[in-house]
Structure 1
Amino acid sequence: MLVSRSLTSLVGLFLVVAIGCSRSKDTVSEITSTEGGTPIPRVAVQLNWYPEAEHGGVYQAFADGTYAAAGLDVDIRPGGRATPVAPELELGRVQFAMANADDVVVFRREGMDIVAVMAVMQMSPRCILVREDSGVKDFAGLAGMTLQRQAGRSFLEFMRSKGILDQVTEVPYHGSVSSLVADPKIAVQAYSFAEPLLARQQGVEVRTLMVSDLGWNPYSSVLITSGKLIRENPEQVRTFVQATQQGWKNYISDSAVGNAAILAANKHGMTSAALQFGSRELVPLALPNEMSIDEIGTMSQSRWATLVKQMEDLDPGSAGKVKPSECFTDEFLTR
């Protein structure tokens, strides 16, 4: 991958600002107390976006008591368009966070000791959303279109390497399908279990062009932590990972409690219908090919090796900087 200057600069800026700030009352403490004075771990998890179905297992575990039953006091922190996920982990302000697998490779390439400990979606939900009446039926048909996208993302560099974006005008993505609804010549980056319903609710039929069909298929909804926490407090990591894994099992079985918690936490126009759609549509992404629910969250060395190789091909200067085996560990998952 060709890491964008904006992404690299943004990570650096947040590191400088965060290090310069006083770590006083706002810093996450690792221990809190119950009313009886018994110490229990306090754990903060940083989301990489506004609360949505892709975070369902975390909210489910919080709302249905799974975290509490595991003896965890959990603080879920919503994200946004420029959430400094890796710096928050590196500085110890949070213990866990959500990301995508390609983000982990970027973080490690930049020298940050970030490790994936669970990957919920085996199949990437990343897609390009177009209107049915746009005439676009495949990626080649994007020529002449305007694509709203978040600059610097790895999937864009992969598409660019295939020549798909050669005749596409790229403009910033602002987290809305409104432009696509208004103009059939607009395409937007999307997740297959979210934006399609939002467009249809506004009376526009859409088609999803899945980026995984091009061969770009990194794990999504990945739970990450720091290598430092793994080394210093592996039991806390194990407890949180296994509780989150159970939360995802519960969410996939019945998402009602988790969706209610997400709806209460999302202040950006989320609807109950969108969450119901999302929680239903993400199931085949999390459990493809008749994968058992007991396997939720699992990862493989071969998948990580493929991703690292693809990103090295996009940016040959990065070759050898990241070892696939250091990007992840599955030792904390319930088997």
Structure 2
Amino acid sequence: MSKFPIALTGCIGAIVLVLTGCAGDRPVDAKATALATAGLETVSVQLNWYPEVEHGGVYQAMVDGGYRDAEIEMTIRPGGRETPVAPELLLGRSQFAITNADDVVLFRKEGADIVAVLAAVQDHPRCLLVRADSGVEGFDDLAGMTLQCQPGRAFLPFLRQRGYLEGVREVPYFNSIAAMVNDPKTMVQAYSVAEPLIARQQGLEVRTLMVSELGWNPYSSVLVTTGELIRKSPELVRKVVRATQEGWVDYLDSPDRANEVILKANGHSMTPEALKFGSEELRPLVYGGIRAIDQVTDAQRNSLGQMTQERWQRLLDQMSELKLIEDGSITPKDCFTNEFLP
């Protein structure tokens, strides 16, 4: 569903400073010792939101035993409204996390050495959700509407700069489409893999305006880790990346088993119908518009997660233009690597 802003304030900078001089002794972890004896390395991945289809590949790799086959004992840590992804990584409470490409850029702006190692979703599911009877056919028709949105997300200044939010009243969003039920002139920030179904289940005919079609299209469901872990334990990173990549391929082919686990882990009014809808809507965002499983080629499956310098450079240029980062302060090489992918 719609993701809330991730904490990026001075706490990241403070953590970066503290980590330079506070290793200290740690108590012996009996479970970790037992797993090490069994030849398994304990690893955790921090999600950026409550468990949903955007994390499907991670859950599939756990359900299918992909992480265990890679000699990894994986713990999945659910996120929430303001999950501190960067601090969790910097403090070592998790070795990996799921986030969005634009968040990686903002983490690096704050001095956090965080690197993307796999990008599952190539076309971002961010959209504006409007009622079909609102009179809105596209982004040029938004004047006079009220937008429920959460500040801090980079797509908002992108829309403002291009004039799409002129004459639009912006109000806080509380992860609910309830206001749309009573007011056809209210729209909400949304993910195309979730809220459209929720709206239809409440009797609303809706239209999704995909922000990616305007050119704002950062990678989503991005697996990240720290530059330090890449330098110190490249084989561990490789094993986690490969298992996660295989998990995503299997999830998009057959998501039912992983969705059962996601449903139990979510705990926030998630339904089997919503997960089924979401996993079906996610497939074309991963595979370049292809929805039918039998039309996905082996080459597309094998290349799942790959990123390009051009895409990252475009994102950096856009964020510089929006004054979210200083021009030239961050490079694509800082943000991502494909070296651990098949």
Q: TM-score, normalised by structure 1?
A: 0.91
**Residue 107 of structure 1: how far off its partner (Å):** 0.7
Q: How many residues align?
A: 329
Q: Residue 318 of structure 1: which of 320, 326, 336 is its match?
A: 326
* Cross-structure match for 1:241: 241
* Cross-structure match for 1:294: 302
Structure 1 pair 175/227, CA: closer, same or farther in 2 (3 Å)?
same
Structure 1 pair 71/171, CA: closer, same or farther in 2 (3 Å)?
same
What are the residue-to-residue correspondences of 1:125-204 with 2, within 5 Å? 125-204=125-204
Structure 1 pair 301/54, CA: closer, same or farther in 2 (3 Å)?
same
* Cross-structure match for 1:332: 340
In structure 2, distance between residues paired with 1:28 and 1:82: 28
Tell me if 1:272 matches 2:298. no
**Residue 27 of structure 1: how far off its partner (Å):** 11
Cα shift readout 1:90-118 (whole Å, capped 9, x = no counterpart)? 11110000111111111111111010000
SS at match of 1:203: coil
Q: TM-score, normalised by structure 2?
A: 0.89
Contact 1:32 1:41 survives alignment (8 Å)? no
**Residue 12 of structure 1: how far off its partner (Å):** 4.6
Structure 1 pair 217/71, CA: closer, same or farther in 2 (3 Å)?
same
Structure 1 pair 310/28, CA: closer, same or farther in 2 (3 Å)?
farther
Q: Is there any run of 5+ residues in structure 1 with no aligned partner, and where?
A: none
In structure 2, distance between residues paired with 1:200 and 1:148: 18
* Cross-structure match for 1:82: 82
Structure 1 pair 129/120, CA: closer, same or farther in 2 (3 Å)?
same
Structure 1 pair 289/283, CA: closer, same or farther in 2 (3 Å)?
closer
RMSD of aligned residue pairs (Cα, Å): 2.8
Percent identity of equivalent pairs: 55
Structure 2 residue identity aligned to 1:173: Y
SS at match of 1:59: helix
Contact 1:198 1:274 survives alignment (8 Å)? yes
What are the residue-to-residue correspondences of 1:98-109 with 2, within 5 Å? 98-109=98-109
SS at match of 1:76: strand
Q: After TM superposition, what 4+ stretches of structure 1 lie above 2 angstroms from structure 2? A: 5-16, 21-34, 36-39
Contact 2:180 2:187 survives alignment (8 Å)? yes
Structure 1 pair 220/11, CA: closer, same or farther in 2 (3 Å)?
farther
Contact 1:148 1:170 survives alignment (8 Å)? yes
Q: Is there any run of 5+ residues in structure 2 with no aligned partner, and where?
A: 291-296
SS at match of 1:112: coil
* Cross-structure match for 1:55: 55
**Residue 232 of structure 1: how far off its partner (Å):** 0.7
In structure 1, distance between residues paired with 2:255 and 2:26: 35
**Residue 181 of structure 1: how far off its partner (Å):** 2.1
